[in-house]
Structure 1
Amino acid sequence: MLRAEPAVFGPVASDPTVSRLIDTLASAGPRALAVIRRARAEVRERAWRLAGEAAPNVGDEVIVDIDGVLVLAHSEKEHAAKTWKKTFGHHPLFAFVDHGPGGSGEPVAGLLRPGNAGSNTAADHIEVARLALAQLQKRHRRGRRTLIRTDSAGGTYDFLNWLTARGRWLSYSVGMTITDAIHAAVLKIPTSAWTAAVEPGGEIREGAWVAELAGDVLTGWPTGMRLIVRKERPHPGAQLRFTDADGMRLTCFATNTKHTPITRLELRHRQRARAEDRVRAARDTGLRNMPLHDAAQNQVWLEIVQLALDLLAWMPMLALTGRARRWEPKRLRLRLFSAAAQLVTTGRRSYLRELPRLSWSPRSCDQATCGCWSRLAQYACSYSSGGM
């Protein structure tokens, strides 16, 4: 499909050429990975600068979500092993920048790991966090302009100590396992100390409450760490755990953010679920499996997947508006990349002419997506003429 539009995409390498390039990069080892990552960081800075207000600076803060992904293997590959779900494959760890409710997200780090790698391995979380922070602009490395979010897999002593050591410019919101000490402290919280949880629009969420644990519940853990607990009525048919109390499902997270209501902090941490959307998009963009045998080759493949996801994130950020900014790869391929259109050059200007019968084209789409095609055409024409 890319070769069918040389005016837009330029010359496209053949499959054997791509395969030989991956072998060459894999043989170079960490040096090749460092060059690729440095180039991505430079282009990311430029893309965010061009995007202006559409860049993922939520309140001048960048949110980085760290999450693990299980990638199945159906043949013997290096470092493929039995996973904690009793499947066979790899267990890479990713970091994604959250674009907020109005956009999607983009990867900033990917670490290939064996299938039997632990979910809560602190060293891996520290390495991925380092790679992710290296992708951000320097201005996000001071004044707590970066927030690291993880689920309970990141709630380890060593990882929280590492985050706390950078507390002058780094915030965190990390899920915690309900230990016996936390469970005992929750049982002592008076009824009056619980506050109703809120939804993104500010309305009260029925059947859910939040409270902060006072005192040093976890002795010896980093200073300044706040523990916030959420309790909610389980869904009909849900099975309670031993750590739940009074028929309520309990969850907990740690944060070092101060001077913010706990309801807002709990809502912010709950929105970490958007990382699952980023994982789904990655699976649709080459992460369905690791196609090569050697681990070094598959790490290069992981970088290629991140490059593709970067492009799929920057293009909507720069050229789309409204709901179209949240389109995932499948919908982008259907509505934009494979839609019948023609790049026409006349009078020293280029125009993107699409079929008028498309239900999402400017002639028939709603106001929220009306500017998608025109802005995309501007970028397509500028690329074809060498203006970008």
Structure 2
Amino acid sequence: MALRLRPGNAGSNTAVDHIEVLDEAITQIPANHRHDLLITVDGAGATLELIRHITKRNAVPGPRVHYSVGFDLEHRARTAITKVPERVWEHVWDRDGNPRDLDDAGVIELTGLLRASVGGDELRNWPADMRIICRRERPSSGAQLCALEEADGWRYQLFATNTAGKQLAFLEARHRAHARVEDNIRCAKDTGVEHLPSKSLKINEAWCVAATIAATIAADLLCWLRLLCLDRSLADAEPKTLRYRILHTAVRLVRGQRKRKIKIPETWPWALQLETAFLAAFALTAPT
């Protein structure tokens, strides 16, 4: 894992910071596992400098690095979308790998329209192997839409990739998995990363390194807890929920009659789930 604490006035599209974090993350991967890497970035990382940097890595002999980067829905892309015939939209896959109805969602590639537009190559400054994929779906209530989306009744999301071939539905599903990153960031904050102890940037940077290591270990332990000891809704609960319902419960350890007993407050709403977790843990085979 690579993490960088930046000043509060740092821009979200600062390519230099993105490149440094990316290189640090790749360097940490053992050389024998550093092959066919996929870099996924949200819209804040859709900078020409970052994509050019990844392209330069592929210019030297070695493992190929693929990217799937959120792309801005600006006027060139909106113009290209209006030229797409309705019949050429393709199905996207749901979480079970089944095609969704085209009335609900669709995917199309805009690379050709952008490369051969009336005004010339709209992607002339970008790498030649970059592809632009567009996904559309019916907007949820309260979604902030541009004028085109308001008129069409669709919400459009674009991403850029250098992966050749492959079905558009595969590329779209692969990029959609990036949404889990936001969940991981939120969980990391819930395990202490966001609690900066000082006004000094240097001290907070050191804290972030230590807290990130601790949060990573905590995330692994919570995964094992969910897998081996919890069931029902708690098996999918996030750290904040687990901390409140299970981890911080004030139980008592009572000794007597050569036995030790765990006393769980009967009035605690999740007393049964906590008891089940203890019994599941005690039933595990002792490590050897």
- Name the TM-score class by shorter chain: 0.7 to 0.9
Q: Is it true that 1:330 corresponds to 2:240 in the alignment?
A: yes
* Aligned equivalents of 2:28, 2:4: Cα separation in 1: 14
Aligned to 2:169: 263
- Any idea what SS the aligned residue of 2:272 has? coil
Aligned to 1:211: 108
The structure richer in strand per residue is 1
8 A Cα contact 1:208 1:231, kept in partner: yes
1:315 aligned to 221, 225, 234, which one?
221
CA-CA distance at 1:184 after TM superposition: 1.9
Cα gap change, 1:298 to 1:272, in 2 (>3 Å): same
1:241 aligned to 146, 152, 160, which one?
146
- Any idea what SS the aligned residue of 2:160 has? strand
- Any idea what SS the aligned residue of 1:360 has? helix
Aligned to 2:119: none
CA-CA distance at 1:291 after TM superposition: 2.0
2:129 aligned to 224, 228, 236, which one?
224
CA-CA distance at 1:257 after TM superposition: 2.3
Q: Considering only CA atoms, is the larger Rg found in Structure 1 or Structure 2?
A: 2
CA-CA distance at 1:261 after TM superposition: 1.6
Aligned to 1:276: 182
TM-score (norm 1): 0.58
* Aligned equivalents of 2:48, 2:111: Cα separation in 1: 19
8 A Cα contact 2:192 2:215, kept in partner: no
The structure richer in helix per residue is 2
Describe the superposition over 1:118-142 as per-residue Cα deviations: whole angstroms up to 9, x where unpaired.
1111111111112222332323312
2:3 aligned to 104, 107, 110, which one?
110
- Any idea what SS the aligned residue of 2:17 has? helix
Residue type at the aligned position of 1:158: E
* Aligned equivalents of 1:260, 1:320: Cα separation in 2: 35
Aligned to 1:359: 272
Cα gap change, 1:207 to 1:111, in 2 (>3 Å): same
2:52 aligned to 161, 164, 170, which one?
161
Cα gap change, 1:355 to 1:223, in 2 (>3 Å): farther
CA-CA distance at 1:258 after TM superposition: 3.0
CA-CA distance at 1:337 after TM superposition: 4.0
1:149 aligned to 40, 44, 49, which one?
40
CA-CA distance at 1:224 after TM superposition: 1.7
Cα gap change, 1:262 to 1:311, in 2 (>3 Å): same
8 A Cα contact 1:174 1:253, kept in partner: yes
Cα gap change, 1:319 to 1:286, in 2 (>3 Å): closer
8 A Cα contact 1:229 1:250, kept in partner: yes
CA-CA distance at 1:212 after TM superposition: 0.8
Describe the superposition over 1:329-381 as per-residue Cα deviations: whole angstroms up to 9, x where unpaired.
2344346644548699xxxxxxx9756884235x747xxx9855645x84xxx
Aligned to 1:251: 157
CA-CA distance at 1:173 after TM superposition: 0.9
CA RMSD across the alignment: 3.2
Cα gap change, 1:282 to 1:313, in 2 (>3 Å): closer
- Any idea what SS the aligned residue of 2:136 has? strand
Aligned length: 260
Cα gap change, 1:343 to 1:285, in 2 (>3 Å): farther
Aligned to 1:193: 88
- Any idea what SS the aligned residue of 2:91 has? strand
Cα gap change, 1:374 to 1:297, in 2 (>3 Å): farther
- Runs (5+) with no aligned partner, structure 1: 1-107, 345-351
Residue type at the aligned position of 1:221: W
* Aligned equivalents of 1:165, 1:291: Cα separation in 2: 39
Higher relative contact order (Cα pairs below 8 Å, separated by 6+ residues):
1
Residue type at the aligned position of 1:208: A
Cα gap change, 1:221 to 1:302, in 2 (>3 Å): same
Aligned to 2:208: 302
CA-CA distance at 1:309 after TM superposition: 1.2
* Aligned equivalents of 1:372, 1:257: Cα separation in 2: 44
* Aligned equivalents of 1:341, 1:252: Cα separation in 2: 54
Residue type at the aligned position of 1:211: I
- Any idea what SS the aligned residue of 1:148 has? strand
TM-score (norm 2): 0.76
* Aligned equivalents of 1:319, 1:254: Cα separation in 2: 37
- Runs (5+) with no aligned partner, structure 2: 116-121
8 A Cα contact 1:320 1:372, kept in partner: no
